């Protein structure tokens, strides 16, 4: 059994890591840390895990050596202690934004401060298997992915891979997100009377995840507009782009079919009948699947591409475990094949 520990296990992504890894056939969870819940059973914070484990939260300063460490910490923490974590485990998956960008100057531009461990940036592989499967297989250090960036990157993937859109032209990505994206720590904006029933645009452009989309998709002219909606889990990215001259709907079908055939967690949702004709996050809650859809106005070349995910799964912990599976030489889908619930 591979011995793994989770640092920051009382948070939302840490809770999802626990849920997945406790059922994972090749893994034993050794430690799950929390300073504020030290000594408590993990199910006291994550009630869905009651009767699934007797593990208690441990102190992040008392980590034992293991095979894999998952870091599920707030932004900026992992980079300050990366040497210490690396001394404890040969493989690390960091869910934060600390090691997602390859370039220290780009990091400083988007995050507003110098990186605390810039020499580590080149040691990490960007942790989206749909983009870096081969590198992740041989990597020791894998970054997390931004949940909004993941929805945007996967919506763009078939278009960019098949070279179907004008990648220098403006690409607009409207993203609607649920409240768990903000983590377990509350703030005035997440207070129930203020957050409930909202459709609230909180970032017109300049969202930090834009840097991940630029880096990974090679699209310099991309804008992410972020809107909070009345969901707990889920992110929906709607891309608007300009098709290259002569691109047809048939070309898009071919590109999307090729991408979903290549990647086990990508599915094409483009139905003529029924309620679920296009991707939507609701039926993905708890699942690692990402649903893709598209439309093309052939008269103008306007393309719409859609990706729905669960932000805590494909947008964070599910993808992190998918990366661990690849790093360990396991089947990529191990422990991740939950279909989602319907109705929900
Ligand atoms: N939420 C999402 O949808 C999502 C998606 C993709 C990526 N991410 C990224 O994943 C990371 C975790 O997100 P989250 O939503 O799970 O956050 P969260 O719910 O706020 O959880 C943070 C965890 O870190 C622990 N922690 C905080 N400061 C610490 C410190 N200095 N040393 C040790 N432990 C510390 C907290 O527990 P104690 O304070 O009790 O120790 C808690 O367990 C973030 O970097 C986030 O950007 C989140």
**From the CB of 17, is ligand 1 less than 6 Å away?**
no
Per-residue pLDDT tens digits of the chain, which is 344 residues long? 999 999 999 999 999 999 999 999 999 999 999 999 999 999 999 999 999 999 999 999 999 999 999 999 999 999 999 999 999 999 999 999 999 999 999 999 999 999 999 999 999 999 999 999 999 999 999 999 999 999 999 999 999 999 999 988 999 999 999 999 999 998 999 999 999 999 999 999 999 999 999 999 999 999 999 999 999 999 999 999 999 999 999 999 999 999 999 999 999 999 999 999 999 999 999 999 999 999 999 999 999 999 999 999 999 999 999 999 999 999 999 999 999 999 99
CATH number at residue 215: 3.30.360.10
Residue 141 lies inside a defined structural domain of this protein: no
Contact (Cβ atoms closer than 8 angstroms) between residue 67 and residue 21: no
Question: Active site residue: 97, 121, 125, 147, which one?
Answer: 147
The count of structural domains within the chain is 2
- Cα of 291 from ligand 1 centre, angstroms: 26
**From the CB of 319, is ligand 1 less than 6 Å away?**
no
Kindly report the protein residue whose alpha carbon is nearest to atom 21 of ligand 1: 11
First to last CA, the chain: 34
Whether 323 sits among the annotated catalytic residues: the reply is no
What is d(CA 149, CA 123) in angstroms, rounded to the nearest whole number?
A: 21
pLDDT of residue 294: 98
Residue 266 lies inside a defined structural domain of this protein: yes
Q: Which residues of 69-96 are buried (b: 16+ CB within 10 A; e: fewer)?
A: bbbbbeeebbbeebeebbeebebbbbbb
CATH number at residue 9: 3.40.50.720
33 and 106 fall within a common domain: yes
What is d(CA 340, CA 283) in angstroms, rounded to the nearest whole number?
A: 6
Kindly report the protein residue whose alpha carbon is nearest to atom 25 of ligand 1: 8
- Cα of 311 from ligand 1 centre, angstroms: 14
pLDDT of residue 117: 98
Contact (Cβ atoms closer than 8 angstroms) between residue 208 and residue 261: no
167 and 220 fall within a common domain: yes
302 and 165 fall within a common domain: yes
Q: Are strands 290-297 and 302-309 parallel, antiparallel or unpaired?
A: antiparallel
Domain that holds residue 240: 147-311
105 and 210 fall within a common domain: no
What is d(CA 315, CA 317) in angstroms, rounded to the nearest whole number?
A: 7
159 and 234 fall within a common domain: yes
**From the CB of 97, is ligand 1 less than 6 Å away?**
yes
Residue 199 lies inside a defined structural domain of this protein: yes
Residue 155 lies inside a defined structural domain of this protein: yes
**What residue has token string 């008392």?**
62
**From the CB of 181, is ligand 1 less than 6 Å away?**
yes
119 and 179 fall within a common domain: no
Phi-psi region of 280 (alpha: psi -120 to 50; beta: other; left: phi over 0): beta
Residue 298 lies inside a defined structural domain of this protein: yes
- Cα of 8 from ligand 1 centre, angstroms: 6
- Cα of 301 from ligand 1 centre, angstroms: 42
Instruction: State the SS3 of the chain.
Output: CEEEEEECCCCHHHHHHHHHHHCCCCEEEEEEECCCCCCCEHHHHCHHHCCCCCCEEECHHHCCCCCEEEECCCCCCHHHCHHHHHHHCCEEEECCCCCCCCCHHHHHHHHCCCCCCHHHHHHEECCCHHHHHHHHHCCCEEECCCHHHHHHHHHHHHHHHCCCECCCCCEEEEEEECHHHHCCCCCHHHCHHHHCCCEEEEECCCCCCHHHHHHHHCCCCEEEEEEEECCCCCEEEEEEEEECCCCCHHHHHHHHHHHHHHCCCEEECCCCCCCCCCCCHHHHCCCCCEEEEEEEECCCCEEEEEEEECCCHHHHHHHHHHHHHHHCCCCCCCCCCCCCCCCC
244 and 185 fall within a common domain: yes
- Cα of 71 from ligand 1 centre, angstroms: 8
159 and 299 fall within a common domain: yes
Length of the chain: 344
**Residue 315: half-sphere exposure toward Cβ, Cα within 13 Å:** 33
Strand partners, 93: 70, 142
By most ligand atoms within 8 Å of CB, the mutation choice from 10, 11, 88 for ligand 1 is 11
254 and 221 fall within a common domain: yes
pLDDT of residue 52: 96
């Amino acid at each position: 059994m591979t011995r793994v520990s989770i640092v920051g296990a009382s948070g939302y992504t840490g809770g999802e890591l626990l849920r997945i890894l406790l059922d994972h056939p090749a893994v034993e969870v050794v430690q799950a840390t929390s300073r504020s819940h030290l000594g408590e059973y993990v199910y006291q914070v994550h009630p869905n895990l009651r009767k699934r484990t007797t593990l208690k939260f441990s102190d992040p300063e008392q980590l034992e050596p293991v095979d894999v460490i998952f870091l599920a910490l707030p932004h900026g923490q992992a980079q300050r202690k990366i040497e210490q974590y690396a001394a404890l485990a040969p493989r690390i998956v960091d869910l934060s934004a600390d090691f997602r960008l390859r370039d220290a100057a780009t990091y400083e531009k988007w995050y507003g401060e110098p990186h605390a461990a810039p020499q580590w940036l080149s040691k990490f592989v960007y942790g989206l298997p749909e983009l870096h499967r081969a590198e992740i297989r041989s990597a020791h250090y894998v970054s997390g992915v931004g949940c909004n960036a993941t929805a945007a990157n996967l919506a763009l993937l078939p278009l960019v891979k098949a070279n179907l859109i004008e990648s220098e032209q403006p690409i607009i990505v409207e993203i609607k997100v649920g409240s768990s994206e903000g983590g377990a720590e509350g703030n005035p904006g997440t207070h129930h009377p203020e957050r409930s029933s909202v459709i609230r645009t909180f970032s017109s452009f300049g969202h930090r995840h834009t840097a991940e989309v630029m880096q990974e998709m090679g699209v310099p002219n991309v804008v992410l507009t972020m809107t909070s909606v009345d969901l707990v889990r889920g992110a929906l990215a709607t891309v608007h782009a300009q098709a290259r001259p002569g691109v047809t709907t048939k070309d898009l079908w071919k590109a999307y079919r090729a991408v979903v055939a290549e990647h086990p967690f990508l599915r094409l949702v483009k139905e003529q009948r029924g309620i679920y004709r296009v991707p939507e996050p609701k039926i993905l809650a708890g699942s690692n699947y990402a649903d893709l859809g598209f439309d093309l106005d052939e008269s103008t070349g306007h393309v719409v591409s859609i990706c729905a995910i669960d932000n805590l799964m494909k947008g964070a912990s599910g993808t992190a475990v998918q990366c661990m599976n690849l790093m360990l030489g396991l089947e990529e889908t191990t422990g991740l094949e939950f279909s989602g619930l319907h109705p929900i």
